[in-house]
Amino acid sequence: MNTSMNKKYPFLSLKLANEPFEEELKQAACDVIASGWYLQGEQTCLLEQEIAALCHTRHCVAVSNGLDALRLIIRAYKEMGVLHDNDKIIVPADTFTASALAVSDNGLIPCFVDVRTDTMNLDSDLIERHITPDVKGIMPVHLYGTPSWDMKLMTVARQYKLIVIEDNAQAIGAMAAVAGFAGTRVTGSLGNAAAISFYPTKNLGALGDAGAVVTNDNELAATVRAIAHYGCDRRYHNIYRGVNCRIDELQAAMLRVKLRHLNEENKRRREVALAYNSYITHPHVTRPTIFDDMTQVWHQYVIRCSKRDKLREYLDGRDVGTDIHYATPPHCQPCYKEYNDLALPVTMTIASQAVSLPIAHPITADDAIAISSIINEFEE
Ligand SMILES: Cc1ncc(COP(=O)(O)O)c(C=O)c1O
């Protein structure tokens, strides 16, 4: 009997994803409970040092979630007089809505720019035609774990003196080629500041909400830290009308456990992506591109198929779970009515064809090969 015929491939099970670390997580949680210190303690401090080291940045401020990390960066630039109400920030049209929400929530305007079919990231050749005196920043999003960084983006940012805020929610540990720099550089260290999400499904996921800001800018880091703590630069001294966006010690401790295993998790994801790319041969399925000059971390493995719904139904019938990232791009959301008619053809094509295949632990390269054979037998 061929057992692989009967194997189930759920799209994602957080229980299974966290199972390898269960004992370490329980111990770390017990240690926090026993410490009697639940906010802004040793775990947060150590996590910040470890994330800054991983991202090769001088600072890390651990915060409540990835959206807050993005919001805090923009708010801090406003407090510093760098960004102002109604400034425009270039945002890729194909992203999770949170990227745009961080901009509009701060009273700035997202300027949606189309993406490339190969990287599914911001098409930097299109940025310049959107530049107006109001455009003050770019938010490259390293979608699905593929760095959004190239010579053109760097050149335009420099030429027009644009602040670059990386949305690194999905790409912790990824490496991008950087012109004029030997080798690759880790995402999060490429722009002026970056936001990271530790949402539970992420490659480095907490057991609840958490996020971080990383930057080499001393003033920005101090401003973000103050705003996230009620706007205080010291106890009971509010220099900003701040918010409470702190991470808690339990999540910091959970993340420190999982951080020890991030490299192997990212490596496993790369092996699974490579297996899918090598074995999916269906003529009507487009595989994502694996780039030689960067290190992708495959937060999602996204194929495209014009018969997307039929393919999903077929896979579901063979116990292969799938998902869609993202069926409705931000500019088509009801909250962004004024953008609904924008012409963003590549984003719309991707939104109508994208299917995410299982890639989280415990999926192995062998599982990917088995799933690929199932896909190859799909009859449209
Ligand atoms: C691209 C992107 N930006 C921002 C966020 C927001 O992160 P969080 O869910 O931690 O608020 C996410 C994640 O969910 C994301 O995928």
Kindly tell me if the per-residue pLDDT of 78 is higher than 90: yes
- Does the Cβ of 144 fall within 6 Å of ligand 1? no
- The CA distance from 70 to 76, in Å, is 10
Distance 70 CA to ligand 1 centre (A): 9
Q: What's the rounded mean pLDDT across residues 88-99?
A: 98
CA of 199 to the centre of ligand 1 (A): 7
Which of 176, 173, 165, 191 minimizes the C-alpha distance to 95?
A: 165
Q: What is the pLDDT of residue 5?
A: 57
Which atom of ligand 1 sits closest to the CA of residue 210? 10
Q: Verify whether ligand 1 is closer than 6 Å to residue 100 (CB atom).
A: no
Average pLDDT over residues 35-54: 98
Average confidence score pLDDT of the chain: 97
Q: What is the pLDDT of residue 178?
A: 85
Per residue in 154-203, pLDDT tens?
Answer: 999 999 999 999 999 999 999 998 877 777 899 999 999 999 999 999 99
pLDDT in tens, 12-24: 999 999 999 999 9
Overall residue count recorded for the chain in this entry? 380
Question: What tokens appear for 31 in the block?
Answer: 């240690």
Task: List, for residues 127-140, the tens digit of each pLDDT value.
Answer: 999 999 999 999 99
Among all chains, which residue has been given the structure tokens 């003196």? 161
Report whether 332 contacts 21 (CB < 8 A): no
Q: What is the pLDDT of residue 375?
A: 98
Give the predicted TM-score (pTM) of the model.
Answer: 0.97
Q: 98 in ligand 1 pocket by Cβ < 6 Å?
A: yes
For ligand 1, atom 8, the nearest C-alpha belongs to: 66
Q: What residue ranges define each of the domains in the chain, with the CATH number in brackets?
A: 20-114+121-259 (3.40.640.10), 262-376 (3.90.1150.10)
Query: How far is C-alpha 376 from the chain's CA centre?
Result: 29
Q: What is the pLDDT of residues 268-304, one digit of tens each?
A: 999 999 999 999 999 999 999 999 999 999 999 999 9
